[in-house]
């Protein structure tokens, strides 16, 4: 027996992908926190995350900031397919395993765009090395919950510490 749902309360229902961001629209993204041998990994990128703007915090910094791997899944892509692709593309390494830690949804005040964002912990098969992966990575930084760096481009040290303590 089939069931036809009628979207009458603005429930999530998406059409085919489009090429540009739309005010009042929606996007799905995923933040991947890399891990190797029990340590977290961040990538120092002068031009921020590939295909993303340099955040205001990073523009004001006197040196390139640190970033996790972040991106948008492609239409029809599985979670595993997305994770393997984006980690290889942005860090140049393979994936041993991953787990979803959080799903955040909200609306950006300026564009009224609804964002739906997964956050995943991704165990990689080796430590990344500096190089060009979508854009330049000038340094690979490892840390633990007690030594979180304070120069991430998007997040504050306190936000990262709180997230790690809560979910890992």
* pLDDT tens digits, 81-92: 999 999 999 999
d(CA 104, CA 142): 25
- Provide the CATH number for the domain formed by 26-167 in this structure: 3.90.79.10
Please tell me the pTM assigned to this model.
0.92
Length of the chain, in residues:
168
* pLDDT tens digits, 96-154: 999 999 999 999 999 999 999 999 999 999 999 999 999 999 999 999 999 999 999 99
Distance (Å) of CA 69 to CA 9, 26, 40, 60, 112: 34, 20, 12, 21, 24
* pLDDT tens digits, 48-72: 999 888 988 988 888 999 999 999 9
pLDDT of residue 5: 75
């Amino acid at each position: 027996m089939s069931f036809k749902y009628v979207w009458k309360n603005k429930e999530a229902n998406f059409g085919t992908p489009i090429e540009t961001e739309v005010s009042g629209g929606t996007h799905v993204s995923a933040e991947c926190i890399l891990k190797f041998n029990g340590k977290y990994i961040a990538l120092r990128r002068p031009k921020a995350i590939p295909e993303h703007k340099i955040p205001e915090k990073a523009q004001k910094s006197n040196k390139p900031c640190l970033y996790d791997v972040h991106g948008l899944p492609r239409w029809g892509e599985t979670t595993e397919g997305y994770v393997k692709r984006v980690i290889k593309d942005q860090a140049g390494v393979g994936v041993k395993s991953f787990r979803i830690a959080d799903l955040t949804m909200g609306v950006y005040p300026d564009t009224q765009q609804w964002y739906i964002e997964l956050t995943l912990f991704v165990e990689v098969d080796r430590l990344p090395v500096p190089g060009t992966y979508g854009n330049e990575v000038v340094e690979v930084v490892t840390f633990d919950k007690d030594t979180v760096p304070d120069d991430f481009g998007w997040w504050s040290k306190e936000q990262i510490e709180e997230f790690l303590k809560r979910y890992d």
